[in-house]
Amino acid sequence: MKRIFSSTVKDLVGQEVLMKGWAETIRVHAKVAFIDLRDRTGITQIVCVGEENIKIAQDLTAESVISVTGTVSERPQSLVNINIISGTVELQAQKIELITKAKTLPLPLNDREVSEETRLKYRYLDLRSKKMAENLRKRHKINQYLRNYFTDREFIEVETPYISKSTPEGARDYLVPSRIAPGKFYALPQSPQQYKQLLMVAGIEKYFQIVRCFRDEDARADRQPEFTQLDVELSFTNQTEVLELLEELFTGLVKEFFPEKTLTFPKFQVLTYAEAMEQYGNDRPDLRKDKNNPDELAFLFVVDFPMFEYKEGDKRWGAVHHPFTAPKKEFVDNFEKMPEKALADQYDLVLNGSEIVGGSIRIHDSEVLERVFKFLGHSKEEIQLKFGHLLEAFQYGVPPHGGFACGLDRLFTVLFGENTIRDVIAFAKSGDGRDLMMNAPSEVDDSQLKELGLKRL
């Protein structure tokens, strides 16, 4: 017999069917027992009568995996349960089989009071909870939507390397020692920034990727060591076109998946960085009219960021976005002379006070790019060593280009109404960057270190 699911069982009244899944709850009475069988689509109530089936239900532990054959029957009107997908019917069990038995779970499912540490340690169980399973499914559907949105507009998804060379995005790199070249290291990319720009040199013109990025930063509520970006780059573009693409994307996405939500600004608000700072004292103000209303979304573009910021600690200028960001036209010739005034062709998209997108039009003139690197304090040799490949690539016909990246974990956190990015990531790290389920980071053998030419301190 073919297996059927909780989502379709209501259409099969009177038929004999086979269902498989987890026994979420078991209630045994004298003459009848009920099992809530959970499969990936929801819950179905199994009714067990007769000595043999009641005995099986009695011996069953919650969360054991079972298989049930039986007949689908309509529930009397008074017993319809609108909270479950199959709520108008139940399955009258003929044969119940235990497939695998479950020990008592170390955490109750669907109980939000459980400590996050326990949820992360037993993540494979936490993911059985309704909320987490739903979040994973919603995330999948939106990823699919994003892929379709860009594919429909002639973008192509190109994968870029994970073991690579350091790209400056302002964070610390995760380094990967090379066995073949002892003493040398790869870096896990902080973003595919240079690769996507090189794809523009390659003539791809329209690139996107749903991609993992790695930044070794101190923990924060909305950060973890690895996170997912929707990364986009286009050739022959300008800021207006990029902002239009973003506005259309997010307006469509909200309409499709969150019709209950309202936009504070049906036409996204735009503020310059200077205006935002002056009016709100920060560059990602939360402009919702009613901050207690979880269904209000305030999208705001912030544009015209300063190109540089002075790093007091290091006593030097740093790039506000990254060094590949183009100065606004009027500052191309003189940004070194007025670094505190120079503005960049940089834009952010802020949602309810969270920066969900950052991007810029890039420098495509290798001389200007070299001047920026120099101004940021890199020596000629350093520039060659770190960015020689990009500067050389720009000698062979580079189109003007620009793009952005959208932090998907943060976006989903806001849209799903969660408090932490960890509730939208399947296997999230703890606040201090550990994988509590796999127990990482962990010790390695001396032999592994030796192979890599590394010594313990």
Q: Which residues bind ligand ASP (CB under 6 A)?
A: 169, 191, 193, 358-360, 403-405
Q: Which is nearer to ligand ASP, 171 or 277 (CB)?
A: 171
In the complex, minimum distance from the CB of residue 308 to ligand ASP, in angstroms, rounded to a whole number? 16
**CB of residue 83 to ligand ASP, shortest distance in Å:** 42
What's the closest the beta carbon of residue 321 comes to ligand ASP, in angstroms? Answer: 6
Nearer residue to ligand ASP within complex by CB, 321 or 422? 321
DSSP string, 346-397: EEEEEETTEEEEEEEEBP--HHHHHHHHHHTT--HHHHHHHHHHHHHHGGG-
End-to-end CA distance of the chain: 62
Between residues 35 and 344, which has the closer beta carbon with respect to ligand ASP?
A: 344
State the minimum distance, in angstroms, from the CB of residue 145 to ligand ASP. 20
**Smallest distance from the beta carbon of 407 to ligand ASP, in angstroms?**
8
Q: In the complex with ligand ASP, which residue's Cβ is closer, 209 or 264?
A: 209
Give the largest Cα separation in the chain, rounded.
Answer: 89
Q: How far apart are CA 19 and CA 69, in angstroms?
A: 6
Q: Which residues contact 123 (CB under 8 A, 6 or more apart)?
A: 426, 427, 428, 436, 437
Nearer to ligand ASP, 87 or 358 (CB): 358
Bridge partners, residue 162, by sequence: none
23 vs 39: CA distance, rounded Å: 9
Minimum Å gap between C-beta 403 and ligand ASP is 5
CB of 135 to ligand ASP, least distance (A): 23
Q: Which is nearer to ligand ASP, 19 or 319 (CB)?
A: 319
Backbone angles phi, psi at 8, to 5 degrees: -120, -5
Contacts of residue 379, defined as CB under 8 A and 6 or more positions apart, other chains included, come to none
Per the rule left: phi > 0, alpha: psi between -120 and 50, beta: everything else, 32 is beta
Asked if 78 contacts 104 with a C-beta cutoff of 8 angstroms, the reply is: no
Nearer to ligand ASP, 119 or 284 (CB): 284
